[in-house]
Structure formats: structure tokens, C-alpha cells
């Protein structure tokens, strides 16, 4: 390791390194908190002024980051945030944690990465480490970010260090957090890998060194492609079991008793969040450039994206069986976030389902303790409290997100008709014919 590498490694090892994190969402804030808890000084950069203001007051805007954890770090001056990139020049390590959505054409949109890098370039200096954590297509670090840094005359692995380390945040997961999930790091050079590993050793004790950024980038996409494909299999099982009169949930529970060779995945109203609906398509897009079509990924995506329409059909059929048309019927949606007990609606299938129900003439209301208001086409919806009277007044109660705070016994008792896409009313299905499942 040369002079610049030795200087940076000493700062990282002695916890005197200053870290700049670009993007303070689920990934960035969780990482910032763990690094600050380890004793490093962290400066977050985010263009959302409200988010920055909340953070600088020690107020958390994420359910996974407790205010009593955040506030002392802010008070001690080890964690702060700004909307400006100016302080990036003083940082020893820069970590980019910005979103990577899909375009309408289902092609990767790395505009947030490009914007972050372009804003950082005038402020880069010798001896810094830059780590890209944003999920992206294989080759982004070396083909997109590296040439821009080298255009300044920097030599990667000599006087500047670059690596990729995929984020693995699972919002709402109380068992696995940023602090105990192993990190994968892949540097452009071995020195880059070692320095990135030195940074993340302050966050987790388990760091896997990949041979290149491309391996690390692909590993992240494989993780969520694995989940997408298996969720699609569970969703297709739900279709098949409906045809043959078998309960898919019971089938999965039975198969899950096997102690080897099987991992349970469950059907649902669709896929959501910042990873599963997006990451497999980043991989298939990159593969397509070589002339090969990743058919398995495409099929899984098609099955999963058909689920919202299937759910709307279930609601329509269930109402019709009771002599009611969709148009004019009241549908109470329980839960709009993409998974239980988080305040994240990104890519949530609930949004599409609500839009489809509304377009078919249903009068839609919703309950969700994590989403007080919901923007829809033509205006906004405000969450209602699912009281016994509210449940009884609905022509159909549609469970899309199984938040732990919902009173499922009361739903089963008071609702005249329930379409349950999450098996939340499993305990009540045997005694009530008014519960419809996937």
C-alpha cells in the first residue's frame, strides 16, 4: 500500500476519518448512524431540506432509526446533514447512497448517481475513498464512475480509491440490521478493496472481499432476483391452487416442514419497495446488451406485475357473488405501504390496486398507521381509523399490507366481506365464508 493508502488506512483504523454520505434515506441514514456510533464523524448530504432539518434536530424520519439513538449522535456533533456538497472535499471517505429507479421503458435510471458524482467531482482530492452503495447494473463503478474521477488526473488505486459495496437494508427487519448484516466490498484494485473493508469494519464484523466491483454489483442483483423469482413461483402456485381447490398457504406450510432443500416464499398482491421490483431488471437489461435474453427474470417480473390485476378481479368477483357491482361499492383497503410496519410506499402494489379499483367505480378508502395521506390521481386520500363501524360499513375490506397494529379479530368479526391477500385472517377462515384469499 502506498503513501495515500497508508494515510487513509490509519485514519480509518483510528476512527479519525471523516465520512460524507450522499443520500440520507433508508440506506444512508442507517449507515450514518452506525458509523457515528463507532466514533467516526459523519456528514450527510441530501437535497431534501425537510429531511436535513429533521436530522439536524435529532428527529428520525425512519421507523428503523430511533430518535433516542439519533439525537445523542447529533448532539455530540458526530452526525449532521446539509443540502450542500461543499463539505465533501474535507471528507476522507465518500459513500453514495442515492436511488436507482427504472425508467418507464424498464431501463436503468442512474441519473441520481451521475448527478451525485458530477456534484462531487469539483471537490475531490487526493487520498479519498469513494464507495458506491446504490444498486446498479454490473459495470457501473468501473465504466461510469471511474472514468469521471480519472478525468481529473487521479489514478485509481494510487492517489484515489474506488469501490462498490451493495446496500442490504431490509426496512422493518428487527433481526437483521445494518449493524449485523455482512458487507460485500469490491474495489477497483486490491488496495481499494482493503480500504473499503477498513471502513465497513466499523459497521459490521463480517466483510466479504469480492474480486472486483462487477462481482459485488452482480451479487446484489442476484440476491433480489432470487427473491423475485421465488415470489413469482409462490404467486403462480396461488393461481394453480385456486384452480384445483387447494389452499396455497397450507401447501407452503406443509412443504416448509422439510428441513433441507426448501425455503418458503409466500404469494401476495404484488411486489414493492426499492429493490425487488427494480433490481432484476437492471440485471436483465445488462445481459440483454450482450444479445442474450434472461427469460426467467422476464417471466417472474410478468407474473409478479400481474398480481394487482388479479387482486382487483378477486374483489370484483367476491362482490358479484353477493349481488353487488364494483361500481358504487365501498372498498376499505387495509395497508398501503409495500411491507408491514414501515413508512415506505415506493413501488407498493397497493397504489396500482387503488387506482384500478377507483377507475372501475369503487369508492375507495384506506387505513394505514404509517401513511396519513396518499396522493392519487386527481387528489389525495386521507387515512381512516378502522373502527368497528367503519369496517362494518364497507362492502369489501381488502387486506393488502398486514401491519401488526391492525386488529384482525375485529376485522374478521365486523367486516361483511374480506379479500385477504396476506393470509392475515388464517385463524378465522374456517369459521367464516366471507373471507376470500389469493
Distance of CA 9 to the CA centre of its chain: 31
Residues 6+ apart with CB under 8 A from 406: 334, 335, 367, 386, 399, 424
Contact between 123 and 85 (Cβ < 8 Å)? yes
Residues 6+ apart with CB under 8 A from 281: 102, 106, 108, 297, 301
Pure H helices in 256-294: 279-288
The answer for 418, left when phi > 0, alpha when psi is -120 to 50, beta otherwise, is: beta
Cα 407–Cα 377–Cα 302 angle in degrees, nearest 5 = 75
Contact between 135 and 141 (Cβ < 8 Å)? no
Annotation says 241 is catalytic: no
Question: CA nearest 21: which of 115, 97, 120, 85?
Answer: 97
Structural element, H or E, at residue 199: helix 190-200
Give the Cα separation of 356 and 345 in Å (integer). 17
Q: Write down the residue that cell numbers 475531490 correspond to.
A: 124
Contact between 216 and 197 (Cβ < 8 Å)? no
Catalytic residue among 20, 192, 241, 275: 275
Q: Which residues are catalytic?
A: 275
Amino acid at each position: 500500500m502506498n503513501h495515500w493508502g497508508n494515510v487513509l488506512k490509519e485514519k480509518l483504523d483510528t476512527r479519525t476519518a471523516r465520512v460524507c454520505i450522499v443520500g440520507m434515506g433508508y440506506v444512508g441514514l442507517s449507515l450514518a448512524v452506525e458509523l457515528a456510533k463507532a466514533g467516526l464523524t459523519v456528514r450527510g448530504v441530501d437535497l431534501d431540506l425537510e429531511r436535513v432539518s429533521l436530522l439536524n434536530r435529532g428527529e428520525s424520519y425512519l421507523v428503523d432509526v430511533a430518535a433516542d439513538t439519533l439525537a445523542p449522535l447529533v448532539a455530540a456533533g458526530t452526525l449532521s446533514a446539509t443540502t450542500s456538497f461543499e463539505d465533501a472535499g474535507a471528507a476522507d471517505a465518500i459513500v453514495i447512497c442515492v436511488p436507482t429507479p427504472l425508467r418507464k421503458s424498464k431501463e436503468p435510471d442512474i441519473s441520481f448517481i451521475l448527478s451525485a458524482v458530477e456534484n462531487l467531482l469539483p471537490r475531490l482530492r487526493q487520498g479519498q475513498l469513494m464507495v458506491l452503495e446504490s444498486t446498479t447494473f454490473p459495470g457501473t463503478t468501473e465504466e461510469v464512475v471511474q472514468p469521471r474521477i480519472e478525468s481529473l488526473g487521479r489514478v485509481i488505486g494510487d492517489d484515489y480509491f474506488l469501490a462498490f459495496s451493495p446496500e442490504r437494508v431490509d426496512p422493518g427487519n428487527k433481526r437483521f440490521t445494518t449493524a449485523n448484516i455482512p458487507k460485500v466490498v469490491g474495489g477497483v484494485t486490491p488496495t481499494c478493496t482493503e480500504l473499503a473493508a477498513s471502513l465497513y469494519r466499523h459497521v459490521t464484523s463480517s466483510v466479504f472481499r469480492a474480486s472486483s466491483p462487477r462481482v459485488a454489483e452482480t451479487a446484489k442483483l442476484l440476491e433480489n432476483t432470487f427473491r423475485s423469482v421465488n415470489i413469482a413461483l409462490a404467486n403462480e402456485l396461488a393461481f394453480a391452487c385456486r384452480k384445483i381447490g387447494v389452499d396455497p398457504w397450507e401447501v407452503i406450510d406443509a412443504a416448509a416442514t422439510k428441513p433441507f432443500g426448501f425455503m418458503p416464499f409466500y404469494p401476495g398482491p404484488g411486489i414493492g419497495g426499492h429493490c425487488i421490483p427494480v433490481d432484476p431488471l437492471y440485471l436483465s437489461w445488462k445481459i440483454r446488451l450482450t444479445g442474450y435474453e434472461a427469460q426467467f427474470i422476464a417471466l417472474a417480473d410478468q407474473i409478479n406485475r400481474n398480481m394487482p390485476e388479479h387482486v382487483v378481479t378477486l374483489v370484483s368477483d367476491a362482490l358479484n357473488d353477493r349481488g353487488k357491482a364494483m361500481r358504487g361499492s365501498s372498498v376499505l383497503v387495509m395497508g398501503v405501504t409495500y411491507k408491514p410496519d414501515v413508512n415506505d410506499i415506493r413501488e407498493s402494489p397497493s397504489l396500482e390496486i387503488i387506482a384500478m379499483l377507483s377507475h372501475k367505480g369503487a369508492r375507495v378508502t384506506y387505513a394505514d398507521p404509517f401513511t396519513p395521506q396518499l396522493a392519487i390521481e386527481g387528489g389525495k386520500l386521507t387515512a381512516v381509523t378502522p373502527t368497528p363501524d367503519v369496517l362494518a360499513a364497507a362492502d369489501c375490506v381488502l387486506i393488502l399490507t398486514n401491519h401488526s397494529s391492525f386488529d384482525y379479530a375485529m376485522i374478521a368479526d365486523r367486516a361483511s366481506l374480506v379479500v385477504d391477500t396476506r393470509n392475515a385472517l388464517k385463524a378465522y377462515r374456517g369459521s367464516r365464508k366471507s373471507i376470500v384469499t389469493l
